[in-house]
Structure 1
Amino acid sequence: MFKVKTLERRNLKQLSLGGGCLGGSAHTGSEELRHECNGNKLIVEDMALAVGSDEHIEPHSGSGSASASSMSGLSIHDHAGDAAKPATLAVDGHSGCNYDLRDLVQLGKLGSGNSGTVMKVLHVPSSRVIAKKTIVIEQNNAIVKQQIYRELTIMRSVAEHRNIVEFYGAHNLSSDSINGSNDVVILMEYMNCGSLDTITRTYKSLQRRGILAANRSYPVQEWFSKPVIISRIAYSVLNGLSYLYENYKIIHRDIKPSNVLINSKGRIKLCDFGVSRKLNNSIADTFVGTSTYMSPERIQGNKYTTKGDVWSLGLMLIELLTGEFPLGGHNDTPDGILDLLQRIVNEPAPKLPSSVIKVLPPDMVNFIDLCCVKVEKDRGSLQELLKHPFIVRFRTKESTDAFKLWTKDIRRWMQEERNYKKETSEHSMLLKKQHNTNDTRHSRHMTSSLK
């Protein structure tokens, strides 16, 4: 496994390992977003979607100040551009949808992380189950607010599409006077099978518990062993990325298992355009948590295109098949991340293990190989890959039906895992309660004995 400081630290092009700042920003129209870093200008690289007037996005070397986003025809009210004014936000969702937060009833937690929490909620008036993502940002961090508001505006501008998660609006809650933070609440479509990351973790958990038999002689994760499953996932990601770029000049830039959602109707959708991304003052911190799927050209600060997302797709497919991230393990620390960046740039492109290649159809192996090409110009493009035989041969009704059946099975296993976790949690709480009761009785007995 890859560990910290095991690689020769050859300096990357435009990547300073000694505390300098990152080159290679994404232009969002004519706007530029920057942050001061150790006396130098830090181009904010860590935005999960970029909008430009041309597919090639050049490294930026100039200077300027942040400006608030504006998209015509949108209803957005904020004061993010004026640090002296309290920030307020109200962004309508698709088709003018704007749910009142008071109409939401909490049903359960879907996930949580450093950036916030995602809850499953019921919108009572419409009886619709949706997802509510709450992001906490520091009150005085105007740059982060501007990035969030800008990207929410972009999310609102993207029309509904079968491979893009639906956006139902966003709200900025009042400031918390205790810790000086604001909550940004984003309402979006609920996908009842969860993300590919959650599905993979559930599969491994069921195997550990002996619910699913582990076939150690077969090198592919059973849930993703059928070519039709990988093909449908790859097609949906490519189709969503193509739609974003062809219609809005948007490059997602954060394709990974946790950002690909599935429901039991057989739909696969992209989510999370980086609205919860935390901006930091150091290059290593900026990459933490998102660097693993980043293409070599982005790390080097070169111009990048939608082919950067193709690289990420290739890594994700290898991970789904093998159950392991293809570039090895790393410590999620600044030093660990910098070492990983060195590996991505300097080591050969990842490939499927030979044991896996033996059990896969040749067109599937070729498709993944075309995604994982280090030289960008030689890597497959979105349109080329959409026409690849591995994609085309599963664009049939039979394949669609087969995938739907698969998602229903996945949904059933996900429910089994949730029930197990709930029972385990309740049992743990009961034991803790009994332990506390016994401690209280023991304490009373000791007190009585002393008397």
Structure 2
Amino acid sequence: MATKGKKKFGGVKFKFDAEEAPKREEKKPPGGLDNKATLTVNGHEFQVYARDMIVIENLGRGAYGIVDKTRHEPTESIMAVKVNSTEDKRILMDMDVAMRSSDCVYTVEFYGALFQEGDVWICMEVMDTCLDKLYKNKLKPQKIFVPENILSRISFSIVSALKYLQTRLKVIHRDVKPSNVLANHNGKIKLCDFGISGQLVNSMAKTQDAGSRQYMAPERIDPDMSAKGYDVKSDVWSFGITMIEIATNAYPYERWHDMFQQLTQVVKGTSPALPKEKFSEDIQDFINKCLKKNCTERPSYTRLLEHEFIKQHADIGDDDVASFISPIIGDTNSS
């Protein structure tokens, strides 16, 4: 039976029916998630409840959620936890790609996911820093530059991850930039953040506004150049811009104040390039090929991995990267 009554507001009486009153919509977890999950960390499988996760520190905060360094109290396992609202549709793509790429050593390892108070928690491998923070907070202030052999290994890792997404998962990343490339003191370089990745249909993608505009290829900025969509060659451009930034400790374009400035510089202007006096011809050629205005002239991931800049440093491994990065990041693993 309906519960009826009267309420008085400012001398005016209102009738109300409790059963007819609008009810707050209950948030439901996507994909059958619960407030507990079975995670596999370093080969060990255990059940995790949200209440047992203790935040150590914040690792990042962006448009697509926050990432915290977290400790699972019962097992003392340390992991990164990305928190996104269930209302954000990107969370499903992020989980899907992260889970399906778990056997790729060049992408961040996915442990599992759970649901807590309207949010999805994606649990994953914790890394020490991203390349954006590394150069801005550590390298640039100390006037240190990444040597070319380490740049080669970083390039190899990023391109290998992108090639895996394309060939194995039929996915385009669409947000390649320094903050989405992570590193740790063991010399591992890994690609992360798949929330705005897109499924390739006949090798093409169409969504224009996905990703960070500073790293977008010309064909994604100018509608006339992308009427039929774009492909992974747009990620090759983003990778090229990313590598110039990491190599020089500076973003290669002036900051734009409006869309017209971006259109003028990226689409109409000359492509950025590494300073000739500071870099070898091999790395210059490698980057120049990535930043061809005509996307059909940019190399495939396979061709990039076969480039002399990669081949001549093929003996560089994680230990070499670690020997460069570890002293720089020191004990502040989140710096």
1:167 aligns to 2:110 (yes or no): yes
Which residue is 2:176 aligned to? 255
Q: What secondary structure does 1:87 align onto? A: coil
Which residue is 1:155 aligned to? 98
Q: Distance in 2 between matches of 1:111 and 1:400?
A: 24
Which residue is 2:245 aligned to? 319
- 1:323-349 per-residue CA deviation (whole Å, 9 max, x = no partner) reads 221121124xxxx24531443222222
Which residue is 1:3 aligned to? none
- 1:80-111 per-residue CA deviation (whole Å, 9 max, x = no partner) reads xxxx7732132876688763222222211212
297 and 92 in structure 1: CA distance in 2 versus 1, 3 angstrom threshold: farther
Point out the more displaced range, 259-268 or 322-331: 322-331
361 and 414 in structure 1: CA distance in 2 versus 1, 3 angstrom threshold: farther
Q: Distance in 2 between matches of 1:307 and 1:99?
A: 40
TM-score by length of 2: 0.77
**Superposed counterparts of 1:172-183, under 5 Å:** 172-174=115-117, 182-183=118-119
| Aligned-pair CA distance for 1:136 | 3.7
**Superposed counterparts of 1:47-446, under 5 Å:** 86-89=27-30, 90=33, 99-136=48-85, 141=87, 144-145=88-89, 147-174=90-117, 182-192=118-128, 194-203=129-138, 207=141, 212=142, 214=143, 222-224=144-146, 226-274=147-195, 287=209, 290-299=212-221, 300=223, 301=226, 302-331=228-257, 336-337=258-259, 339-352=261-274, 356-396=275-315, 399-412=317-330, 414=332
Q: Distance in 2 between matches of 1:230 and 1:88?
A: 41
- 1:51-102 per-residue CA deviation (whole Å, 9 max, x = no partner) reads xxxxxxxxxxxxxxxxxxxxxxxxxxxxxxxxx7732132876688763222
Q: What secondary structure does 1:254 align onto? A: coil
Q: What secondary structure does 2:330 align onto? A: helix
Cα RMSD, aligned residues only: 2.9
337 and 414 in structure 1: CA distance in 2 versus 1, 3 angstrom threshold: farther
Q: Distance in 2 between matches of 1:151 and 1:380?
A: 27
Q: Is the 8 A contact 1:295 1:312 kept in 2?
A: yes
- 1:333-371 per-residue CA deviation (whole Å, 9 max, x = no partner) reads xxx24531443222222222xxx2112111111101111
Which residue is 2:204 aligned to? none
162 and 276 in structure 1: CA distance in 2 versus 1, 3 angstrom threshold: closer
Q: Distance in 2 between matches of 1:93 and 1:384?
A: 37
291 and 152 in structure 1: CA distance in 2 versus 1, 3 angstrom threshold: same
Greater RCO, CA 8 A, separation 6+: 1
Q: What secondary structure does 1:99 align onto? A: strand
Q: Name the aligned partner's letter for residue 305 of structure 2.
A: L
Q: Is the 8 A contact 1:117 1:133 kept in 2?
A: yes
388 and 304 in structure 1: CA distance in 2 versus 1, 3 angstrom threshold: same
366 and 414 in structure 1: CA distance in 2 versus 1, 3 angstrom threshold: farther
357 and 93 in structure 1: CA distance in 2 versus 1, 3 angstrom threshold: farther
Q: Distance in 1 between matches of 2:169 and 2:39?
A: 17
Q: More strand per residue: 1 or 2? A: 2
105 and 296 in structure 1: CA distance in 2 versus 1, 3 angstrom threshold: same
Q: Is the 8 A contact 2:98 2:109 kept in 1?
A: no
- 1:127-165 per-residue CA deviation (whole Å, 9 max, x = no partner) reads 32111122246xxx5xx33x4224423322223221010
401 and 152 in structure 1: CA distance in 2 versus 1, 3 angstrom threshold: closer
402 and 204 in structure 1: CA distance in 2 versus 1, 3 angstrom threshold: closer
Q: Is the 8 A contact 1:97 1:168 kept in 2?
A: no
Q: Is the 8 A contact 1:93 1:156 kept in 2?
A: no
* Structure 2: 5+ residue stretches without partners: 1-24, 199-207
TM-score by length of 1: 0.59
